[in-house]
Structure 1
Amino acid sequence: MKFNDGFWLLKEGVKAYYGLQVTQVKPEKDGYALQVATKPIRHRGDTLGGIVRIHSPTEGVVGVRIGHFKTFKPCPEIPLFPDAPAMPNFDLEKSESGYTLTTGGLTAEITENPYTVTFNSCLAQDFSSNPHPETPPQTVRYIHSELNTSPGELIYGLGEQFGAFVKNGQSVSIWNRDGGTSSEQAYKCVPFYMTNRGYGVFINHPGEVEVEVGSEKVSRVGVSVAGESLEYFLIYGETPLEILERYTRMTGRPALLPTWTFGLWLSTSFLTNYDTETVSGFLQGMQDRNCPVRVFHLDCFWMKQYEWCSFTFDPDNFPDPKAYLSDIKKRYGVKICVWINPYISQLSPTFQEGVEGGYFIKRKDGTPWQWDLWQPGLAIVDFTNPTAQKWYLDKLDSLINLGVDTFKTDFGERIPHAGVVYHDGSDPMRMHNYYATLYNELVFDLLKRRFGAGEAVVFARSAHAGGQRYGNHYKIAHWGGDCESTFEAMTETLRGGLSLTLSGFAFSSHDIGGFEGRPPPEVYRRWVAFGLFSSHSRLHGSHSYRVPWEYGEEAAQDMAKFVDTKHRLMPYLYNLAIQANQSGSPVQRAMFIEFLSDRTTHYLDRQYMFGPSLLVAPVFVPLGEELEYYLPAGLWTSFFHPERTIQGPAWVKEEMAIEEIPVWVRSGTILCLGPKNIGRPDYDLHKRLEVRLYELRDGQRAQCQVPSGKGAEIAGIVTATRNADEINVKLEGSADLAAISLYSKGYRVQGVDGGVAQGDDYIEVFDGKKEIVIRLKNV
């Protein structure tokens, strides 16, 4: 929300009351309560002002809560510290200049006259609240706060935003809408941003939050909410990962996902044919081409048109859905996912049940709220109503009985907020974004009850702050919504994913090939490579199928290579998933997360780190044009062509063959791979490992964990130490080695103690050896 006309003037009709002077300070158990006057206090007759609380709920975090009118507790609120107690750790001190609160390397300094709050001596804070109580009723009151930005400071995050990756200069509304990936609207808006200057800001408000990122006052981030209170937390961290650790400590860690979710998902697509012969032909064709599908998804038209959601298989196309699902599960070893949403068409046989039961969001006159945007006269289920929850879940329960394993929870973004009433009395403005949390959590809890926490998975589109978690349970990554089938849409998708994973989410998925239209074969093949180097990989479209042979048999050969590569990478990927669950670190990472001291990385949004060790640069240019990407300092080894190394920092410009994608391995990496052609992502991840060692320097010691694939269990630890002309490789735990590969520039294998050398850079390990000594020779 912009209140100013330029820098000096206010817009017509705006009257601001700025926090000018602290008139009272009260120490509290977690900080200070301040009485702040909005005009100079010369005598008692001048007393007027709001309440500000400066507090620290946990180490390294300072909260600022600004209040105007004291009202009843708003509903809903974002749950904080859902998995662990807050455990505040701070010091309060009064000084000559004012008051300080210090926690985890972060200090908030408060001066009384003039009133300021300064964080680490670099960020100034003030607030303005709206007019006096006698303001006419039609006037909207806002709380507004600003934080200074320093020269060169960049802002990132705010959920899955598809526009420019660096948010400076943008007006961002934290207000979920389903506008596609080519607009300023977003499906997953999160009131959290991170800077490249060692802190993040979480605005603790579930309703609409309007953020002006240098777009009103060019050196400030302005935040405003309609209402009487605003709370934000400034979260300090020496690294971006430490900031995310502290933020997800507050809002919940990303959920740990079962291994099968990391396999290939294949959809029927939206408007295409779903009959048994077509579906079986696709699954068989994928199997024949060594592109095994792990999850098969039936999109909207498993139900009759105009009847979404009836939760009933269309009898014209699926006369015996239980037998149909059982057959493809048995023959192809797939999990079954079906599309649902919380909207009920008035032509659905379930609509009258909802009306009679009072299960829908209502207008103020007690009638169901309806509109025609997605289905005729649709209503929306009121998930604050316990009986409506049970009714909705009973419908889904019957689908599980038919053989459904998981649900794609579509929609949940464009929820009504004007003139509506919720069963529990929730504020509709605050419920608009929070509805996604209720919706997805409700469906997840059913799956957890039916399948257990280790197998329960939801594939969701909408989310808000905290949507990355449900306790320490399982929940799949969100996908990026409706995108076009173009190179431009690929880049939008990546920007959205990187912004999302800078907002507390660990995983990111998207429609491989694009959703709208039919992608040209070149776009499809490039997107397949990008999609299979994403945490979760789904083939899905609108009017056309996304099976690879529709785009040429060469596309199927590419896919087979990348699917097998992802399966082999599962020991590495699943270890990243465990780390995400334990510390909030994302799998797909913006470059500056790993290379903060390299200012070039702060602007990069067409490449990313896949965990700490792999750099991926998807190809967004047509054949014949040069791809350009950046390798930070260090020696990088090509994953697919290890004979090729590049010393960074370096910009690389090259034409890329259609079957290739640049993937580079960071020096000093131990990369554990599973067996070739294993055909699925859910296997014993700690067995028959190939351990790859990349450019170990003399005196360097590297280590990596090996997960078993069963929850957070770590089955082994691989340690490699180089001393002069020897590398010692040691394996602890129940994991076992099949081979060691040496990727190095300047030395090769001369001899081995504990294994048999099979060449200059490959060692086959026999008899369950746990320790191998490799003697090196210079070349």
Structure 2
Amino acid sequence: MKFTDGYWLLREGVTASHPAQVLDVNESDGALEIHAPTRPVRSRGDLMTGPVFTVRVHSPMPDVIGLTLTHFTGGEPRGPEFELATSDTAAEISYDDEHATLTSGDLSVRLARGGPWEVEFLAHGRSLTRSGHKNAGIMRDATGAHHLREQLVLTVGTSVYGLGERFGPLVKNGQVVDIWQADGGTCSEQAYKNVPFYLTDAGYGVFVDHPGQVSFEVASEVVSRVQFSAETQELTYYVIHGPTPKDILRRYTALTGRPALPPAWSFGLWLSTSFTTSYDEETVTSFIDGMRERELPLSVFHFDCFWMREYHWCDFRWDPRVFPDPEGMLARLKARDLRVSVWINPYIAQRSPLFDEGKGLGHLLRRPDGSVWQWDMWQPGMALVDFTSPAARDWYAGKLEALLAQGVDCFKTDFGERVPLDVVWSDGSDPERMHNYYTYLYNRTVFEVLRKHRGEQEAVVFARSATAGSQQFPVHWGGDCEATYESMAESLRGGLSLGLSGFGFWSHDIGGFEGTPTPALFKRWLAFGLLSSHSRLHGSSSYRVPWQFDEESVDVARHFTRLKLRLMPYLYETARTAHTEGLPVMRAMVLEFPDDPGCAHLERQYMLGPDLLVAPVFSDEGDVTYYVPEGTWTHLLTGETVTGPRWVRERHGFLSAPLLVRPGAVIPVGARDDRPDYDHADGVTLRAYGLRPGDEVTVPVGDVTFTVVREGNTLRATCTAPAAAWSLAAGTREIQAPPGTGLLTLELD
């Protein structure tokens, strides 16, 4: 939200008050509390009027410092609040004649005790960002609404990333971003996944701890600052030190929660019925038979909305006219070694028998007059489940438990964005703060049901909406994209932006959702989709089985599906890193190469884990341009090499795409290409690329850890279980493991 009219003026009707100086500094429970009047105190007469800011500075964990700006404190606190972790941290407080300083780890915040107001964040004595004269403020707009605003300086050359799944340019400088959930597709400034956290390449990130609407002006209203504001009397933000972008994500996800580890089977290919297509068990069986006949490995079959009766979404009952024997059908699918996913949402249509049940039990969201909130936008007369009520959560979970008992394995948790404001929540939550937060409660409820009944290692959802902390409940997909190359590119920007917002796992609808892709587009999207964290064939009004397009699409689907399954030893260890460290599987180039200025704005390529560079092809002809960082990289599919740093132009057929291995990497390749959930260490091949004499690389694969060392012209590998060693002379392609181990083949690039 903009408040100013250029450099000197405020917009018409806007008034502003800014902290002018520090009046006093006190310590309380390891934190600093500062009172800052909004006019210089020159005499006792200046002490008679306000406003006065109360500023609290504290640290929840090392290298994270929070600053809370407060105006009036008389209001009753209303939820919700983000669930943040804390750790024992001994923040150090020090003073000198000019400053009060709080230090946590390598991060410090220094406040000027005399003279004009200034707050500066430093690491190792280097200034990261600061807030000075007229940056923080109490801003009243023309309607009288009360906003708190902060502006943090952007040093020259700093790029800003994150703020959720955003489909515009990856670098957010120059953009206006409103953190407000919307069901707007993938082609505008609206987003399904809004996260009030941004990451910079200048050694720090900023998390605004406000679950409601936060408006960001990123080098837009003031081009040298990031401004954020919210309509509130109290606003907290955390500065998170790196120094690297990876370190920032590690600390941010330690604060807000790290992703659960999805089961290995979820990394295989998902096939959907699509949205409005007609289907029954015979149709489903024909798809599955067609995949098997064409040797297309399939892991998950997904039933979209019309597994339930029309106008009954959601009643969680199979349409008896189409699926008269759901238990038998699910058993037959399970006999084919498939997992089953079904579509759900948090809305209850008026025609659903659950509407009257939920209304009578008080589980549906209500208006201030006590009536159930309803509208006709998605389903006629639909209501929302009030997930702020523990009883309502249990009620909803009970409906899902019945499906799990039938044989369903996981849920596509669609929607959760269109949450009204003219309502009263069961727990008294503020409607504005609950609008974004609703998706967190919804997806947590579903995820906990799966964790309870399927186990910690089996829980997975396919979610669309999200906010800060929702990364704990993977997987998330990009929503309703169009069947165009432009939409394919905007989807990738959204996924990379989400990854820079703390989310480890992301997917998208292969071929696009709206419309039907051309065969060429479908084949290009297949390569992209199967070189993503999770891979799903899904559309709106047309099927996405490959043979619906052409026979070459079958070949492309088979080629890249089997490639992904062979890469599972590498991909699943990358998934473990997402779970333990908060680093995404699909990584913007800047995350891996923060010191290479050529990577700062790259948004049409990414790193799949730490060692594989992927550049999707966005044209029928196969022309692609991508950037290669320093070193000699190797095409995984052909063995050809490219030396960077430089831009590369290539033309690829449909059975190829730029997939390059980082120099000095060892890629574990699995022995199977028919399923994702196998013993990844059994029969694994280690492929070493560009190791120099003296290089040593550790390669974890499940419970086994391999160490590969280059000694002169020899590669030597050892592993922890069973204890064994192998050596390989330069020029030799492979060596088998000693008899009886059955674990390893070693290849030299």
Q: CA offsets, 1:654-704, max 9 Å, x none?
A: 111122111000111111111143x11111111111111111101211111
The worse-fitting range, judged by mean Cα deviation, of 395-404 and 560-569 is: 395-404
The worse-fitting range, judged by mean Cα deviation, of 273-282 and 152-161 is: 273-282
- What is the CA distance between 1:496 and its match in structure 2? 0.4
| 2:79 counterpart of 1:79 | no
Which residue number corresponds to residue 644 of structure 2? 648
- What is the CA distance between 1:153 and its match in structure 2? 0.9
- What is the CA distance between 1:762 and its match in structure 2? 2.4
Q: CA offsets, 1:530-579, max 9 Å, x none?
A: 01111111110001111111111111111111111111111111111111
Which residue number corresponds to residue 706 of structure 2? 718
| 2:717 counterpart of 1:729 | yes
User: Partners in 2 of 1:231 and 1:402 — Cα distance?
Assistant: 46
C-alpha distance 627-306 of structure 1, shift in aligned 2 (>3 A)? same
C-alpha distance 736-408 of structure 1, shift in aligned 2 (>3 A)? farther
Contact residue 308 and residue 348 of structure 1 kept, 8 A? yes
Q: CA offsets, 1:327-374, max 9 Å, x none?
A: 1221x2111111010111112222222222222111110001111111
| 2:95 counterpart of 1:123 | no
User: Partners in 2 of 1:86 and 1:233 — Cα distance?
Assistant: 15
| Amino acid paired to 1:670 | V
| 2:270 counterpart of 1:275 | no
Contact residue 491 and residue 620 of structure 1 kept, 8 A? yes
Q: Which one of 728, 733, 745 corresponds to residue 761 of structure 1?
A: 733
| 2:70 counterpart of 1:59 | no
- What is the CA distance between 1:271 and its match in structure 2? 1.1
Which residue number corresponds to residue 621 of structure 1? 619
| 2:633 counterpart of 1:636 | yes
Which residue number corresponds to residue 399 of structure 1? 403
The two structures, once aligned, show a CA RMSD in angstroms of 2.0
- What is the CA distance between 1:90 and its match in structure 2? 2.9
- What is the CA distance between 1:774 and its match in structure 2? 9.4
Q: Residues 279-358 of structure 1: matches in 2 within 5 Å?
A: 279-330=284-335, 332-358=336-362
User: Partners in 1 of 2:551 and 2:747 — Cα distance?
Assistant: 45
- What is the CA distance between 1:262 and its match in structure 2? 0.7
- What is the CA distance between 1:482 and its match in structure 2? 0.3
User: Partners in 2 of 1:124 and 1:669 — Cα distance?
Assistant: 39
User: Partners in 2 of 1:100 and 1:304 — Cα distance?
Assistant: 63
- What is the CA distance between 1:608 and its match in structure 2? 0.3
User: Partners in 1 of 2:457 and 2:22 — Cα distance?
Assistant: 52
- What is the CA distance between 1:771 and its match in structure 2? 11
- What is the CA distance between 1:775 and its match in structure 2? 13
Contact residue 572 and residue 672 of structure 1 kept, 8 A? yes
- What is the CA distance between 1:149 and its match in structure 2? 0.6
Which residue number corresponds to residue 680 of structure 1? 675
- What is the CA distance between 1:734 and its match in structure 2? 4.2
Q: CA offsets, 1:709-738, max 9 Å, x none?
A: xxxxxx11111111222221112224999x
C-alpha distance 601-424 of structure 1, shift in aligned 2 (>3 A)? same
User: Partners in 2 of 1:621 and 1:533 — Cα distance?
Assistant: 17
Q: Which one of 464, 481, 484 corresponds to residue 482 of structure 2?
A: 484
C-alpha distance 271-139 of structure 1, shift in aligned 2 (>3 A)? same
The worse-fitting range, judged by mean Cα deviation, of 512-521 and 284-293 is: 284-293
Aligned partner of residue 580 in structure 2, secondary structure: helix
Aligned partner of residue 459 in structure 1, secondary structure: coil
Contact residue 314 and residue 344 of structure 2 kept, 8 A? yes
C-alpha distance 569-771 of structure 1, shift in aligned 2 (>3 A)? closer
- 4+ residue stretches of structure 1 with deviation over 3 A? 734-737, 768-776
Aligned partner of residue 691 in structure 1, secondary structure: strand
User: Partners in 2 of 1:196 and 1:26 — Cα distance?
Assistant: 34
Aligned partner of residue 733 in structure 1, secondary structure: coil
User: Alignment identity in percent?
Assistant: 49
Which residue number corresponds to residue 694 of structure 1? 689
Contact residue 253 and residue 584 of structure 1 kept, 8 A? yes
The worse-fitting range, judged by mean Cα deviation, of 180-189 and 308-317 is: 308-317
Q: CA offsets, 1:498-532, max 9 Å, x none?
A: 00010111111111111001000111001111011
User: Partners in 2 of 1:734 and 1:312 — Cα distance?
Assistant: 50
Which residue number corresponds to residue 93 of structure 2? 92
C-alpha distance 268-193 of structure 1, shift in aligned 2 (>3 A)? same
Which residue number corresponds to residue 710 of structure 1? none
Q: Which one of 420, 423, 438 corresponds to residue 420 of structure 1?
A: 423
Aligned partner of residue 660 in structure 2, secondary structure: strand
Q: CA offsets, 1:210-248, max 9 Å, x none?
A: 000011111111100001011000111121110011111
Which residue number corresponds to residue 171 of structure 1? 176
Contact residue 365 and residue 373 of structure 2 kept, 8 A? yes
- What is the CA distance between 1:289 and its match in structure 2? 1.6
Q: Which one of 421, 435, 438 corresponds to residue 438 of structure 2?
A: 435
Contact residue 726 and residue 774 of structure 1 kept, 8 A? no
- What is the CA distance between 1:96 and its match in structure 2? 2.6
User: Partners in 2 of 1:504 and 1:445 — Cα distance?
Assistant: 20
User: Partners in 2 of 1:771 and 1:312 — Cα distance?
Assistant: 47
Contact residue 736 and residue 746 of structure 2 kept, 8 A? no
| Amino acid paired to 1:349 | P
Contact residue 348 and residue 383 of structure 2 kept, 8 A? yes
User: TM-score, normalization: structure 1?
Assistant: 0.92
C-alpha distance 285-773 of structure 1, shift in aligned 2 (>3 A)? closer
Which residue number corresponds to residue 186 of structure 2? 181
User: Partners in 1 of 2:28 and 2:251 — Cα distance?
Assistant: 22
Q: Which runs of 5+ in 1 are unaligned?
A: 470-474, 708-714, 750-759
Contact residue 33 and residue 57 of structure 2 kept, 8 A? yes
- What is the CA distance between 1:447 and its match in structure 2? 1.6
Q: Which one of 445, 459, 462 corresponds to residue 462 of structure 2?
A: 459
The worse-fitting range, judged by mean Cα deviation, of 605-614 and 96-105 is: 96-105
User: Partners in 2 of 1:390 and 1:736 — Cα distance?
Assistant: 52
| 2:153 counterpart of 1:148 | yes
User: Partners in 1 of 2:595 and 2:200 — Cα distance?
Assistant: 13
Aligned partner of residue 553 in structure 2, secondary structure: helix
Q: Which one of 576, 598, 608 corresponds to residue 578 of structure 1?
A: 576
Q: Which runs of 5+ in 2 are unaligned?
A: none
Which residue number corresponds to residue 448 of structure 2? 445
Q: Residues 530-569 of structure 1: matches in 2 within 5 Å?
A: 530-569=528-567
Q: Which one of 662, 665, 669 corresponds to residue 666 of structure 1?
A: 662
User: Partners in 1 of 2:269 and 2:724 — Cα distance?
Assistant: 26
Q: CA offsets, 1:147-206, max 9 Å, x none?
A: 011111110000101111110111101111110001111111000000111110000111
User: Partners in 1 of 2:393 and 2:94 — Cα distance?
Assistant: 50
User: Partners in 1 of 2:323 and 2:583 — Cα distance?
Assistant: 43
Aligned partner of residue 182 in structure 1, secondary structure: coil
- What is the CA distance between 1:772 and its match in structure 2? 9.8
Contact residue 730 and residue 771 of structure 1 kept, 8 A? no
User: Partners in 1 of 2:745 and 2:716 — Cα distance?
Assistant: 5
Contact residue 684 and residue 743 of structure 2 kept, 8 A? no
Q: CA offsets, 1:584-637, max 9 Å, x none?
A: 11111010111111101000000000111100000012316x310010001101
User: Partners in 2 of 1:86 and 1:145 — Cα distance?
Assistant: 26
Which residue number corresponds to residue 111 of structure 2? 110
| Amino acid paired to 1:657 | G
Which residue number corresponds to residue 213 of structure 1? 218
| Amino acid paired to 2:440 | T
| Amino acid paired to 2:445 | L
Which residue number corresponds to residue 13 of structure 1? 13
Contact residue 731 and residue 771 of structure 1 kept, 8 A? no
Contact residue 361 and residue 382 of structure 1 kept, 8 A? yes
The worse-fitting range, judged by mean Cα deviation, of 160-169 and 385-394 is: 385-394
User: Partners in 1 of 2:153 and 2:170 — Cα distance?
Assistant: 20
